[in-house]
A and B are shown apart, each in its own frame.
Chain A
Amino acid sequence: MTLRPLLARPAGDLLALVPVRNGYRQITVGQFCADVAQVASQLPDGLHVVNLCQSRYAFMVVFFAVITRGQINLLPGKRDGETAQRLRTEYPRTTVVSDQELAPHHVEADLILALDPGSQGEAGTFTPAPDTVVAIVFTSGSTGEPQSHTKTWAMFGEWREVHWRYVAQPPAAPVLLVATVPPWHMYGLEWAMLLPTIAPLIVHCGPDFFPRDVVSALNESLGSCMLVTTPLHLRALTRAPSPRRPVDLIVSATAPLEPSLVTAAEAHLRSTVLEIYGCSEVGSLAYRLPARESSWCFFDCFQLGFADGVVEVHHPYLDWPVVLADLFAVAEDGRFQLLGRTTDVVKVGGKRESLARLNGLLTAIDGVVDGLFYLPEDHDLPVTGRLGAVVVAPDLSDRQLRDALAQCIDPVFLPRPLFRAAALPRDATSKLQHAALTELLASLGTPPG
């Protein structure tokens, strides 16, 4: 397909609302192009850029400035000075850009962003070559080692078109887009940063995280609005006051949506939920309207290979087929049902991890005799689905154990609850049967999973 320019919208279109002291700065496409050009001219010569900007608008400007300079965005999952420093040593000629001073003990930013308000630029006509590498995305990966995924302009350029086409009944333009997901994760990048480069969306650039922020952002809409979010935020939102106007469309991804949450969210926000299934290797892969259908449909740009319920995703832009970590039942019409995991991969806070690897890290801690992570099945818990753990470590204090875990495990996987036991009820083959674990958890004071 023919790729449109990096920014394929009229210069006068409103692109972003950036909060300032007494309201908002309205950013047109032309202003955005000027900001991108200004930052592109300030970037040092180099190959890679780690973009640590906290503000959504600044992040967007730097992201596109890097592409127009022909450099590559490095997008780590963990965005701190330590990671930036590591990337700077692993990737040659890497610049660190931030919109604020970084904690000095980790790393110094090479460029602190200072945008010049009021300048106007030409609307973008720049189109990167299709095979240009524009970003490298890092995921924790179920094996634990961070994996890098190279993204070309062809991928981003085509997929943004596909996603917009599948937004069921696009709301009437212009649409205020409020995102609770950061633009540096694949899902936020696709739906809240790339989509607005072609679609008539106005990106709300506030820190839209807590329910009050999200509701007040949605209330800024004068016409239609669209919310790009996660089950976690949706559940919190259903417990906050409703926004003044209906939300035309909710896009949700990163974790499965419970049917009860879909019903509650659609009623509370007077909206329709479009649920996205994806993986970080590829990005968004499939969609469904969960209030109406339980089966999923793959975006039609992908070719699929099926074998024993396992799905391989093929696409000309992927160097090799991506095998999905879920089990599927595929119907003749190509729609599919998710049956579960092919592995022991769990997903918390949008990050994947293998239970076996977590158990390995846990039992490798000095002083831990035995232990395991488990997935609580109590859906009445509030907004998170954290993992629990039972640990046998008679010589470690709670504090020592927590500190040791924090050293080796991503914070989203730190177990809550963390139970201590004298021993785990393993059977003769040293396996832990589900029933035995359930009984142990019940005796420790948690409802059986």
Chain B
Amino acid sequence: MGQTPEQGEIATLIVEVLNLSDVSAADIDPEAILFEDSGLGLDSIDALEIAVAIAERYNVHISAEDEATREIFATLANLTAHVQQESGVRLGAA
């Protein structure tokens, strides 16, 4: 499944921030599981880094107290949707 431009932007951020030199941002399936044993195999340290980068770039602050954190980080599509929802127009304009 192809990425939307917004998903492409978040995918690029993930690849840059985590130094995923062997992964092309465009190859991240929006619906694939990002964390744990499948997909990119990202872990909680990566989640922290992604959260810091998203806060800096989009002023969207992810919180573990939000029960949906697991859902937000589940896939590229979810993460992008969350950032879009919380940041309004900023995403895509960067």
Contact = CB atoms under 8 A, between A and B. Distances in A.
B45 interface: yes
Most buried by A among B17, B18, B45, B55: B45
A412 B42 CA distance: 9
Interface string A412-430: 1010111110000000000
A211 interface: yes
A309 interface: no
A239 interface: yes
B68 to A, nearest CB: 13
Nearest to B62: A210
Interface in B32-87: 37, 41, 43-49, 51-53, 55-56, 61-65
Contact of A411 (B23, B41, B52, B64): B41
Interface string A39-50: 000000000000
B22 A420 contact: yes
B21 interface: yes
A383 B48 contact: yes
B19 interface: yes
Interface string A393-408: 0000010011000100
B52 A239 contact: yes
A417 B64 contact: no
Given A232-B45, A349-B45, A416-B19, A19 B52 contact: no
Most buried by A among B43, B49, B53: B49
A386 interface: yes
Contacts of A209: 44, 48, 64
Interface string A205-221: 01111111100100000
Contacts of A239: 52, 55-56
A386 B19 contact: yes
A283 to B, nearest CB: 22
A211 B52 contact: yes
A206 B66 CA distance: 11
Given A207-B64, A211-B55, A398 B48 contact: no
Question: Which 4 residue pairs of A and B lie closest in terms of their CB atoms, listed nearest first?
Answer: A417-B21, A207-B64, A212-B61, A416-B19
